[in-house]
Amino acid sequence: MAGMSVKRTEAAKVGDIFDRRSYENNGFVLPYRIYIPKNYDCGEKYPLLIFLHGAGERGTDNEKQLIHMQYFFNDPSSPVYDSIVLAPQCPEDSQWVLWPWEKGNYSIEETPESPGLETLCMLIDDCRDFYNVDDDRIYVTGLSMGGFGTWDLLARHGARFAAGMPVCGGGDPSYAELLKRIPIRVFHGSEDSAVPVSGSRQMFAAIRKAGGELIDYTEFDGEGHGIWDKVYEDRDNIDWLFAQNLAERRKKAEKKAKLVKIAAIGSIGAALSAVLVAVGLKKAKKK
């Protein structure tokens, strides 16, 4: 895609570059905005970024969910301009995760997947079918209520995503064994009065304890709930996100599986040799 990039001198206004659409699933209507690169080429594959807004942007106007999306596009040279972006809007009477966010972390076993995220997953599949999406470079991020949604998608559908960035959210620590395989950057303010900072701390600790080396946690000391500007305007975070690739993760997993197989075969061979030696010794004694 490097050869196709468009040279930009100023940032675009997200309201002008995102198309308005909606997706229906058994009567549930999910409004969403979609951004397609100006230089879109049918012969190329594009990263797909999913952005989940917070509680304050819920509704049906198909507009408010873009408020904080602007941070991504403030830098004209950002890789987001050369990606496909989905920004769904959660209805006013629902949540990305059906759990009181003021309580922090939750149990996925006791919390059914929300209609919003279920429909979003169907929308993602349709988007992959229609556009040239790079299946190895699908990313998800969200803030506050959307931070919960980000954790939920990574836990329930982790195989879909190359990486995730939950901002001041909460998840299910019991899924650490699965989440440890996914590159994740977590962010929270130490003085958050809306969503307990303990949620992000516990998720990070659980994944680390499970052996996760791909997770990173940044806690903004003295900051409250609204930290997303610091996260999304930091070019390092955006570059890190778009640098993650599922293909590399798959290669590492295959290499590890191969090594385990070789070790297992070696163990079987050693065990068989021991048996043969033991049998040989017994025969020798009989003579």
In the chain, what are the domain boundaries? Answer: 2-244, 247-287
Average pLDDT rounded to a whole number, residues 13-22: 98
Position 29 confidence tier, pLDDT thresholds 50, 70, 90: very high
pLDDT digits (tens, 9 = 90+) for 119-132: 999 999 999 999 99
Of the two residues 210 and 274, the one the predictor is more confident about is 210
What is the pLDDT, as a whole number, of residue 140?
98
**Encoded tokens for 194:** 């809306």
Q: What is the DSSP letter of 38?
A: T
Q: What percentage of the chain has pLDDT greater than the value 90? A: 83
What is the pLDDT, as a whole number, of residue 179?
98
Position 74 confidence tier, pLDDT thresholds 50, 70, 90: very high
What is the pLDDT, as a whole number, of residue 210?
98
Position 139 confidence tier, pLDDT thresholds 50, 70, 90: very high
Average pLDDT rounded to a whole number, residues 134-157: 98
What is the pLDDT, as a whole number, of residue 262?
75
pLDDT digits (tens, 9 = 90+) for 238-250: 999 999 999 987 7
- Between 109-113, 209-213, 272-276, the lowest mean confidence (pLDDT) is in 272-276
Residue 252 confidence (pLDDT) above 80: no
Position 117 confidence tier, pLDDT thresholds 50, 70, 90: very high
At residue 51, what are phi and psi to the nearest 5 degrees? -115, 125
pTM (2 d.p.): 0.87
Residue 92 confidence (pLDDT) above 90: yes
Average pLDDT rounded to a whole number, residues 132-159: 98
pLDDT digits (tens, 9 = 90+) for 48-72: 999 999 999 999 999 999 999 999 9
**Encoded tokens for 62:** 């198909």
Position 1 confidence tier, pLDDT thresholds 50, 70, 90: very low
Separation CA 236–CA 16 (nearest Å): 26
Average pLDDT rounded to a whole number, residues 33-53: 97
What is the pLDDT, as a whole number, of residue 3?
44
Fold of domain 2-244: Rossmann fold (3.40.50)
46-52: strand order across its sheet: 18-25, 28-35, 84-88, 46-52, 133-143, 163-167, 184-189, 215-220
What is the pLDDT, as a whole number, of residue 2?
42
What is the pLDDT, as a whole number, of residue 287?
44
Of the two residues 35 and 263, the one the predictor is more confident about is 35
156 neighbors 136 (Cβ within 8 angstroms): no
**Encoded tokens for 152:** 């939920």
Read off the amino acid at residue 201. R
